[in-house]
Structure 1
């Protein structure tokens, strides 16, 4: 893989991860009763609208692919798009524009309330319009994701894809290893030892990245926490439990220690960032990487002959294995855009007119309903069809970004041996109390 290809792959993978976790970045908002209740204009078949989004690292931008399909269906409407770098650059620019006179009509936001671009924080500040009275939004949001999109009876944005976090394997490297896909954690630990003896690792992990380390721990929590305590977040919010007091969370962080001892991760995992961890999967030095399936398109774009397959990260038992299938990307209408019927038409198309399917094909994420006809996803199609084993990402409703940040830093501490599982959970409980 050339240096240029490696760089492009890293950017695209980082973007895919950031999009699925963006509700946890930045800083928490302050509750404000200024939320806009302005009526959103009825859909219109003509006009111009502006869209502001986060740069994905893919070329063309996936949302531009959606826009091209939209403009073909609605030739009387033109969309002017602009993309800014993921992170504070986007968050700061978005909030500045929404408060000033240069508002985009439509903009990308993150569900929940944990970050600067989170829907509920923007709604509190009166910066996004209420879509609840639009008939086409009925039933659009999953029941288990309503708290991420609705507040005070208002719907402050709409989901436009479904992000799935899975263990993505390099099929060629997997076959060469001679192992079967692990279905339980014990099987995974055994496989780790075998692959390690071959000079490779079963898993690639960007241990130096708090975001990627946190994502890995969150993926484990789908099995260890939600399998036995599916209402953990609400119970934690009510003070009925804590991270330190949860058997599932204690098992989650202990599993990372056990995996490190079994040689599951690449050598030097604690110092590896995305530029080292991501290409290892494409090059076959690591058999798998726990990432959002939205990264599949980026991987294929750089290595067209790369065979990939996604599977659930296994739990203690096969029956207790879960997966994240989250409506965790959103589009919203600004108070200025509320007066623009073309903006309403665009969101309606994205949510109910096929735009979500166009976006899914461009990224590797899933449409709002159903799955893509992608052979790489066949290994998760069964579990995705079983609602009992599907959950929104556990971190999305957390009250501030520090909880997730401390989890990611805690995993780094576990990898270096500088923190114990108890240290990590205490830090998360302390962060939960911050406002």
Structure 2
């Protein structure tokens, strides 16, 4: 593998711009060469597990490509359709996106992995999003969350502490502005980032109070526009009006937002936990980070977090090196492989094990997970990718004053009903 390849900095459910390839970037396997593709933010984790896999399997080569999420999804779907996809590739759980497990398993693109020894090991909250029609098609590796990642070093210098209620959050934004540092960096120019604040608020506002909400949606007994999703979207705009974000968030991309919090120019960022590694790459030595829930009400005991399967891999049903791809997946699902991958991208293992020590910045996410105070990423069980795409556009439109919550959520309801 060419260690001089350059990779963009990205996050778990998404990535920044740019395409990168290593070891020739080939997508056709054969003769002891495994081909793999993933979003750019998986680079560090792949480096770690590939090095160990090759060490344990002398003579095996692994070529992989990485690209920004939007580009990765488009390219991989095209390759799957044309029969040129790599042996192994990154997938999402559930059914909410173009490379979600349910979607591509239904299309016949994924190898059935149900016979593998690890297939029944996933926790109850993860198993459904790795399966389609009762069969396992994706190998979950990591468990991730969404929350407010605070630069604790910058907070200490500003004399501030993280808020635990909604009223405290708005005051925190005001106090941070008074110190000359906005509370949160928001990369609203990068489409996928816009969903992260609603995803942080709805566990407390929607899914915690009504765990049956997804089933009610599926059965047509409720809708986004008739639910507390309205409050979540309005609170997102309220944060903007309260000065919680840096100037011109609609003109800020993901990479720029990471730099803002890394340098202490903002005190935090609402992101997936994989952004922790991205921030630390740019932060001064000794910087401390902490990922905490974003409060949505004035009762701290009600606060919940979003937590769900994040990184997962599927084997191409038409893989040229299918046996080697399955062997690599088996390594990923071992405690050794899963811990290597998980440690590299600052997440938690999809299958908990006693030998894993979580990064200190993830202690609260781990605590909330063990305490049953998390809800899955909202889109994983939505019936199609259009719902999520609509949400991202609605948030951008609301931040620019072009629409309101009810109108936007009605558009989401329309997309949801398309099945």
Q: Normalised by the size of structure 1, how large is the TM-score?
A: 0.83
Greater relative CO, 1 or 2 (CA 8 Å, sep 6+): 1
- Give secondary structure in 1 for the equivalent of 2:188: coil
Q: CA deviation at 1:193?
A: 1.3
Match of residue 256 from structure 1 = 236
Match of residue 119 from structure 1 = 101
- Give secondary structure in 2 for the equivalent of 1:167: strand
The CA deviation string for residues 282-303 of structure 1, in whole angstroms up to 9 with x for no partner, is 1212111011111222222233
Q: CA deviation at 1:223?
A: 1.6
CA contact (8 A) 2:348 2:358 kept: no
Q: Are 1:373 and 2:358 an aligned pair?
A: yes
Match of residue 189 from structure 2 = 208
Match of residue 158 from structure 1 = 139
Q: Are 1:12 and 2:18 an aligned pair?
A: no
Distance 1:430 1:103, change over 3 A: closer
Cα distance in 2 for partners of 1:356, 1:122 equals 24
Cα distance in 1 for partners of 2:243, 2:71 equals 38
Q: Are 1:313 and 2:297 an aligned pair?
A: no
> What is the 5 A alignment of 1:174-189?
174-189=155-170
Q: Are 1:241 and 2:237 an aligned pair?
A: no
Q: Are 1:357 and 2:342 an aligned pair?
A: no
Distance 1:367 1:49, change over 3 A: farther
Q: CA deviation at 1:103?
A: 4.7
Cα distance in 2 for partners of 1:104, 1:17 equals 20
Q: Are 1:129 and 2:111 an aligned pair?
A: yes
> What is the 5 A alignment of 1:21-420?
48-56=32-40, 61-75=44-58, 78-100=60-82, 102-140=84-122, 142-246=123-227, 248-305=228-285, 306-316=287-297, 317-337=299-319, 340-368=322-350, 369=352, 372-387=357-372, 389-420=373-404
Match of residue 415 from structure 2 = 431
Cα distance in 1 for partners of 2:78, 2:302 equals 45
* Aligned positions, number: 395
Cα distance in 2 for partners of 1:213, 1:89 equals 18
- Give secondary structure in 2 for the equivalent of 1:252: helix
CA contact (8 A) 1:243 1:425 kept: yes
Cα distance in 1 for partners of 2:369, 2:320 equals 35
CA contact (8 A) 2:262 2:280 kept: no
Q: Which is worse superposed, 204-213 or 373-382?
A: 373-382
Q: Considering only aligned residues, what root-mean-square deviation do their CA atoms show, in Å?
A: 2.5
Cα distance in 1 for partners of 2:12, 2:277 equals 10
Match of residue 26 from structure 1 = none
